[in-house]
Amino acid sequence: MGKIVVKLAGKELFEWSGGKAEIADLEKRVRRAARSVRKTVGELTALTLETAFSLKGLMTDPDSRDMQIGGMVHYLLHLPTSRPNRPGTHREYVIAGWDFVFDLFPEQPGRGRIEVSGREDW
């Protein structure tokens, strides 16, 4: 089971941990939520991240915040690693027990960049 920490410009927003079963459950909930608002999973998860950039944080309504966190985790787990020595997505590494920190940096309304850090051998 791995853990991810999500930050916004260095300030922690939330932590999430899980393994294969928790990720499968999260993916099922995100697919269901996307269908309920007539969006693709990609559209919904990107929107949750854009909302964090725009608000410079999480939504205040608990139900909306839970969906936002789930969408953000889904989005971040499915990002390609962009490392030739570590192919695939972060999802596979979290399942294998790796921990990551995703630091979000808003750059313009609804947009930003993501810095990822992990183990020393990452």
Q: Which pLDDT tens digit goes with each residue over 1-11?
A: 999 999 999 99
The Cβ of residue 82 has, within 10 Å, a number of other Cβ atoms equal to: 8
pLDDT at 119 over 70: yes
Q: Which pLDDT tens digit goes with each residue over 32-83?
A: 999 999 999 999 999 999 999 888 899 999 999 999 999 999 999 999 998 8
Q: Which pLDDT tens digit goes with each residue over 11-43?
A: 999 999 999 999 999 999 999 999 999 999 999
In the block, tokens 């939504």 appear at 59
pTM to 2 decimals? 0.92
Decide which of 84 and 89 is more confident: 89
Q: What dihedral do alpha carbons 88, 24, 74, 57 form, nearest 10°? A: -140
| Distance separating alpha carbons of residues 71 and 120, to the nearest angstrom | 27
Q: Where are the alpha helices (DSSP H) in 4-120?
A: 20-36, 41-55, 62-77, 90-95
- Tell me the three state secondary structure of residue 15: strand
- Backbone φ and ψ for 35, nearest 5 degrees, come out as -60, -40
